[in-house]
Every structure is written in structure tokens, then in C-alpha cells.
Amino acid sequence: MDQIVNLQKWVSKYYKCDMQNGEELNLCLQKITGILFYLETLRSEVHDQWQNKVFDQTTKHGVSVNRAENEAHVLHPEMYQLRHIMTAGYRITDAIRTNISYLKSEKLNVNN
């Protein structure tokens, strides 16, 4: 979960950076998207563990799917955390891309 702390660091840098500085925005975008890649890998691994727990409980122990899912959520709370943190991270990358596009269009308008 060190990558979550790293993501928070870069998101904080994005919020503090000069919105007119395309290089700074591009660096934040690069770092955040790279971290999101690693978090996707982690989320995939945790999801597999979560699914295995649900499968185990339902097939081997005859537990209902709802109960098995509740138990899996208790054992793997990072599933919920990763899902929401990553969704927010992707929204931030969208905002950065929009800002970079705006800067490009402003530069084109000034040159014309």
C-alpha cells in the first residue's frame, strides 16, 4: 500500500502546482498514471484473493453467496479502498489532461 501514499503525494503536488506550467502538469500526469498501473496490479491480486474466498465459502462450506461476499469484504478491506482511491485517481488524470489540452489550445490561439 506504499503506492497509495505515493499517489497521495503526487496528487498533492498536482493541486499545488502552477496550472499554467505544462511541464509540471505533464510530470504529475506521468507519475500518477504510473502509480495507477501498479495499483491496478495490486487490485487484480486482491480481487483474486477475494474471489477465491467467496468461491471457497460457497462451494466447500455451503455458505450463501451474500454471506461469503460479506466475509470476503471483511478479510480484504483493501478491495473497497483500492476501488475508490483508483477511481478518484483516474478522475484526477482526466482533469490534468483537460488542463494540458487547454494550455495547448491557448498556445495555438496566441500564435494565430
Provide the whole-model pTM. 0.85
pLDDT at residue number 3:
92
For the chain, what is the mean pLDDT? 94
Q: How far is CA 102 from CA 1, 4, 29, 105, in A?
A: 33, 28, 15, 5
Q: What would the mean pLDDT of 57-66 be, rounded to a whole number?
A: 95
- In which residue are the cell numbers 504529475 written? 28
Q: pLDDT-derived band of residue 103, with 50, 70 and 90 as boundaries?
A: very high
Per-residue pLDDT at 72 exceeds 90: yes
CA distances from 35 to 8, 39, 75 (A): 10, 6, 24
Q: How confident is the model at residue 111 (pLDDT cuts 50, 70, 90)?
A: confident
Q: Residues 65-82: what's their mean pLDDT? A: 94
- Portion of the chain with pLDDT greater than 90, in percent: 92
